[in-house]
Structure 1
């Protein structure tokens, strides 16, 4: 349930940011902004927030999200709109979303720290660090000179 809430929050805030920049500032239609936000939200939540943030820190996940956002916004804006200001629109949108992502990752980390998924990952990491001894049935190595019948 927490994932649905976080994805919803990310989608709404990203839609507002992208509509203010792309829609109002660069005359991209609301439908196109909605589609860009939908694709970007799903891809960046799965890759940036669930995979990268879970295995690294906030700054690494934010940088990955910024790069991902730039690629997705640039490709989709270029494909869906006609104009020569695609790079400027993408750059401004990406910087704005990067600032939001930095604070959103802190919220994700705080929210998911208490969930069972994070606890299971932490327990698995701790268990993999523990060393165990392997034992065998043979106490002495085989001596080729002293063969006994078995």
Structure 2
């Protein structure tokens, strides 16, 4: 359920951003924007959020998501539209998605990835070990029964 919620948040935010940039500013059709959002959302969630973010940090995952978004927006846009240059619309859209992804990765890490890895809750770097010393560590032979018996026999 956590993955579905995260994918839904990502899809809605990405669709709103891509619709504003691609459809309103660059006159791309609704279906094309919807398809681009679907492909970019699912691929960047699987690659950027689940794979790269869980193995590295937020910055690396954001840079990977920007590159992946740029590639998919440029490629799908050039295949499905007849407009000339899609470099600047793809670049603006990818940077906007990157800004959103920077904050979205914090949500994914705390609510999706961190909840799956319960064993990571305890950080071994912050444990404070303390030795315990007590009187039992140095035996007192005078109070032991077998010591008293041996002493009386002699």
TM-score of the superposed pair, with normalisation by structure 2 = 0.75
CA positional deviation for 1:11: 0.2
C-alpha change, 1:114 and 1:54, in structure 2 (3 Å) is: closer
| 2: CA distance, partners of 1:119 / 1:72 | 34
The question of whether the paired residues in 1 share the 8 Å contact of 2:62 and 2:102 is answered with: yes
CA RMSD of aligned residues (A): 1.5
Alignment partner, residue 37 of structure 2? 37
C-alpha change, 1:86 and 1:113, in structure 2 (3 Å) is: closer
The within-5 A match list for 1:60-139 is 60-112=60-112, 114-115=114-115, 117-120=116-119, 122=120
| 1: CA distance, partners of 2:114 / 2:58 | 17
Alignment partner, residue 12 of structure 1? 12
Alignment partner, residue 141 of structure 1? none
Count of residues in correspondence between the two structures: 122
C-alpha change, 1:83 and 1:57, in structure 2 (3 Å) is: same
| 2: CA distance, partners of 1:112 / 1:75 | 30
CA positional deviation for 1:112: 2.4
| 2: CA distance, partners of 1:36 / 1:48 | 16
TM-score of the superposed pair, with normalisation by structure 1 = 0.77
The runs of at least 4 consecutive aligned structure 1 residues that moved more than 6 Å come to none
Alignment partner, residue 52 of structure 1? 52
CA positional deviation for 1:110: 1.6
Unaligned runs of 5+ in 2: 125-154
